[in-house]
Structure 1
Amino acid sequence: MTSVLHPIKHLSAAALAVFSAFALSGSPEAAARGITVALANSFTTLDPYDATDVVSRQVSKSFYEGLFAFDKDMKPQPQLAESYEASPDGLVYTIKLKQGVPFHDGSEFDAEAVKVNFERVLDKKNGLTRYTYFNFVDKVEVVNKYTVRFTLKTPMSAFIARLANGTGQMICPSAIAKEGNDGLAFRPCGTGPYLLKSFNPSTKLEVVKNPNYRIKGLPKLDSITWLPVPENQTRVNMLLTGEADYVHSLPPELYKRLTDRNDIKLFNFPSIYQRWLTINMLHKPFDDIRVRQAIAYAINKKAYAKVVFDGFARPAASVLPPEIPGAVSFDEWPYDPKKARELLKEAGYPNGFETQLWGAFNNSTVNKGLQFLQQQLRQVGIKTTPRALEAGIMVDEVDSQTDPQKAPVRLWFVTWSNSTGEPDWGLRPFFDSRAVPPALNNTSYYVNPKVDALFDQGLGEVDAEKRAAIYSDIQKILWKDVPAVPLGFDNILAGVSKHLENFRPTLDSGFDFYNAEWKE
Structure 2
Amino acid sequence: MRPHLTKLSIALALSAAFMSHAYAAKDAVIAVDRTFTTLDPYDANDTISQAVAKSFYQGLLGFDKNMKMVPVLADSYKASKDGLVYTFVLKKGIKFQDGTDFNAEAVKLNFDRVTNPDNKLKRYTLYKNIAKTEAVDANTVRFTLKEPFSPFINSLAHPSAVIISPAALAKYGKDIGQHPVGTGPFKFVEWKQTDYVKGEKFAGYWRKGYPKVDSITWRPVVDNNSRSAIMQTGEANFTYPVPAEQVALLKGKPNLEITVSPSIVHRFVALNTLQKPFDNPKVRVALNYAINKDALIKVVYGGYAIPAEGVIPKDVQFSTKLGPWPYNPVKARELLKEAGYPNGFDSTLWSAFTDTTSQKAIQFIQQQLRVISVNVQVQALESGQRVEKVESWQDPATAPMRMLYIGWSASTGEADWALRPLLASESFPPKSYNTGYYKNAAVDAGIAKALVEVNPAAKAQIYSEVQQQIWKDAPWINLATLQLVSARTKNFSGFYVMPDQSFNFDEIELK
**Residue 53 (str. 1) matches residue 46 (str. 2):** yes
Deviation at 1:108, TM superposition (A): 1.4
Give the equivalent residue in structure 2 for 1:463: 455
Question: Which residue in the other structure is 1:403 paired with?
Answer: 395
Aligned to 1:19: none
Matched, 1:394 2:409: no
Q: Distance in 1 between matches of 2:111 and 2:193?
A: 25
Match of 2:168 among 166, 175, 184: 175
Alpha-carbon offset, residue 30 of structure 1? 5.4
Q: RMSD over aligned Cα, in angstroms?
A: 1.3
Q: Please list the CA deviations of residues 483-508 of structure 1 after superposition, one character each: whole Å capped at 9, or x if unmatched.
A: 11210011101100000011121111
The one-letter amino acid of 1:292's match is R
1:104 aligned residue: 97
Within 5 Å, give how 1:2-21 maps onto structure 2: none
Contact 2:232 2:253 in 1 (8 A): no
Asked if the contact 2:351/2:380 (under 8 Å) is kept, the reply is: yes
Distance across 1 between alignment mates of 2:324 and 2:238: 35
1:67 aligns with 2:60: yes
TM-score (norm 1): 0.93
Secondary structure of the structure 2 residue equivalent to 1:421? coil
Alpha-carbon contact 2:65-2:497 (below 8 Å) kept: no
Aligned length in residues: 491
Opposite residue 265 of structure 2, the aligned amino acid is: Y
Aligned position for 1:6: none
1:143 to 132, 136, 141: 136
Q: Return the offset for 1:122.
A: 1.1
Per-residue deviation, 1:215: 1.4
Equivalent residues of 1:44, 1:202 under 8 A apart:
no
Is this contact kept in 2: 1:126–1:181, CA < 8 A? no
Of 337, 360, 364, which aligns to 2:356? 364
The one-letter code matched in structure 1 to 2:241 is S
Q: Give the whole-Å Cα distance in 1 for the aligned partners of 2:309 and 2:168.
A: 46
Residue 331 (structure 1) shift = 3.5
Q: For residue 264 of structure 1, what is the aligned residue in structure 2?
A: 256
The correspondence for 2:70, drawn from 68, 77, 84, is 77
> Out of 319, 332, 343, which is 1:351 matched to?
343
2:155 is matched with which residue? 162
- Matched residue type, 1:82: D
Distance 1:125 1:331 in 2: 41
Q: Which runs of 5+ in 1 are unaligned?
A: 1-26
Q: What is the one-letter code of the residue matched to 2:509? A: E
Contact 2:353-2:381 at 8 Å conserved across structures? yes
1:218-367 aligned within 5 A: 218-367=210-359
Amino acid at match of 2:392: S
Distance 1:373 1:103 in 2: 47
Matched, 1:438 2:450: no
Give the secondary structure class of the aligned counterpart of 1:185: helix
State the shift of 1:36 in Å.
1.1
For residues 450-496 of structure 1, give each alpha carbon's deviation from its aligned partner in whole angstroms, at most 9, with x where no partner exists. Answer: 11111111111111111111111111001111011210011101100
Where do 1:18-37 residues align within 5 Å? 33-37=26-30
1:16-42 superposed Cα distances (whole Å, 9 cap, x missing partner)? xxxxxxxxxxx9x95661121111011
Paired position in structure 2 for 1:5: none
Deviation per CA, 1:84-126: give whole Å up to 9, x if none. Answer: 1011121111111001111112121111110001101111222
Q: Which residue does the alignment assign to 1:21?
A: none
Report the CA distance between 1:377 and its aligned residue: 0.5
Q: Secondary structure at 1:220's aligned position in 2?
A: coil
Q: Tell me the secondary structure at the aligned position of residue 247 of structure 1.
A: strand
Shift of 1:185: 1.1
What residue is the counterpart of 2:14 in the other structure?
none
2:505 to 490, 513, 516: 513
Matching residue of 1:153: 146
Q: Return 5+ residue gaps in structure 2 as ranges.
A: 1-19
Do the aligned residues in 2 keep the contact of 1:274 with 1:489 (CA within 8 Å)? yes
2:35 is equivalent to residue 42 of structure 1 = yes
Instruction: Give 3-state SS (helix, strand or coil) of 2:439's partner.
Output: coil
Secondary structure of 2:465's aligned partner = helix
Q: 1:462 to 1:31 in 2, by over 3 A?
A: same
SS at match of 1:325: coil
Separation of aligned partners in 1, 2:354 and 2:23: 36
Contact 2:154 2:412 (8 Å CA) reproduced: yes
Q: What code does the residue aligned with 2:373 have? A: G
2:484 paired with 1:492: yes
- 2:201 and 2:214 in contact (8 A); partners too: yes
**Does the CA contact (< 8 Å) of 2:291 and 2:327 recur in 1?**
yes
Note the C-alpha offset of 1:134. 0.6
Q: Of 365, 381, 385, which aligns to 2:377?
A: 385
